[in-house]
Amino acid sequence: MTRLETPRNARRGPSGSFGAFMSRRSSLMPTFTALAILLLLLGGAHAYFGNFVTPSNLSALLLDNAYLLILAVGVTLVILTGGIDLSVGSVMAFTGILCAKLLSDGVPPIIVVPVMIAGGALIGLLLGVLVQYFDVQPFIATLAGLFLARGLAFVVSQSSMRVEDPAILWLQSERFRLGDWYITPTGIMALLVVAIGVFVTQWTRFGRTIYAIGGSEQSARLMGLNVARTKVLVYLISGVCGGLAGLTLTAYSGAGYPLNGVGTELDTIAAVVIGGTLLTGGTGYVMGSMIGVLVFGTIKSVISFMGAEQSWTRIIIGTLLLLFIVVQRVIVARSERGH
């Protein structure tokens, strides 16, 4: 008598298939959790205020957090390799005040913008060399970078400098509209950086090397991957993102200020972790970091709508960060049991 075999996936049913998918893709769980939290925040805020989820508010969400989104892409690459970058907020401030100073001296924007990006890249390159070739711990190397960039910002100017160049201000003032939706050139720039980050991490050899280093640097070396070049490049890219964020924030605020971005490095790391990137490296997605930034921005907007003190933003972000660290520990523990 022939016994009919039931396909395994059919026995599981839809919920079983989803469970199998999540089991295979457990690294996606924090990102899906962040997405669920974002949707809950938006839904809850809309139910409470009645007019929160509107095209203008959602457009403003990208506008207000464009600089943070750009920083998050660079920091995601660094964290994926198992490193950290504490210098991004100071690099953003340095390049921003440098931009304001050069413009006030009559240097045209077509020269100022490349100089800003080159300044961020140079600091990132220095940090990458320190980490890779001098075996300095990333935390210490980038902490030194934080103080270096902040000090350079004060060398350029100790006070706020107004930016009046129409080309820089156009990046923020121009609105490309579609109905009630709008996007600024800074928003487009941020989305382009995200798109490039997704492409590089998911579909290039460089991206696969980043994940391999974060998974096991020793194994990556044995596989013949160019670990040294990749580690230096991720810090350089993070520096470039710092320069672009400096341009975005200068256009947003209409001024350069050496104290801009104090604590922004921690906001960026928090957004990246909330988006599902493991601090131990090897697991995470640029899109997840984008969701983390949107969660961060939505919480700030909700607090602002409620008229409550901004300290609540820190409290809620801290709570979410603790939650996601627990989720990450669960994932790591499951992964270790799987091996």
Could you read off the pLDDT of 10-65 as tens digits, one per residue?
444 445 555 555 555 667 778 888 898 899 989 999 999 888 899 999 999 999 99
pLDDT at 25: 63
Is residue 333 in some structural domain?
no
Query: Is the full-model pTM beyond 0.85?
Result: yes
Q: Who wins on pLDDT, 323 or 47?
A: 47
pLDDT at 5: 43
Is residue 3 in some structural domain?
no
Is residue 62 in some structural domain?
yes
Q: Is 81 exposed, middle or buried (0-12, 13-18, 19+ CB in 10 A)?
A: buried
pLDDT at 26: 67
Give 134's DSSP letter: S
> DSSP secondary structure string, 194-231?
HHHHHHHHHHSHHHHHHHHHHH-HHHHHHTT--HHHHH
Is residue 234 in some structural domain?
yes
Is residue 302 in some structural domain?
no
Rounded to whole angstroms, how far apart are CA atoms 284 and 26? 11
Could you read off the pLDDT of 150-207 as tens digits, one per residue?
999 999 999 999 999 999 999 989 999 998 899 999 999 999 999 999 999 999 999 9
| Residue in the block written with tokens 């805020």 | 45
Q: At what angle do helices 227-253 and 185-203 cross, to 10 degrees?
A: 170
Rounded to whole angstroms, how far apart are CA atoms 81 and 325? 18
Is residue 206 in some structural domain?
yes
Give the pLDDT mean for 128-138: 95
Is residue 44 in some structural domain?
no
Give 24's DSSP letter: H
pLDDT at 6: 42
Is residue 174 in some structural domain?
yes
Q: Are 247 and 239 in contact (CB under 8 A)?
A: no
Rounded to whole angstroms, how far apart are CA atoms 121 and 242? 8
Domain total in the chain? 1
- Quote the radius of gyration of the chain (alpha carbons, Å): 22
- Domain span holding position 208: 53-261+279-284
The amino acid at residue 183 is I
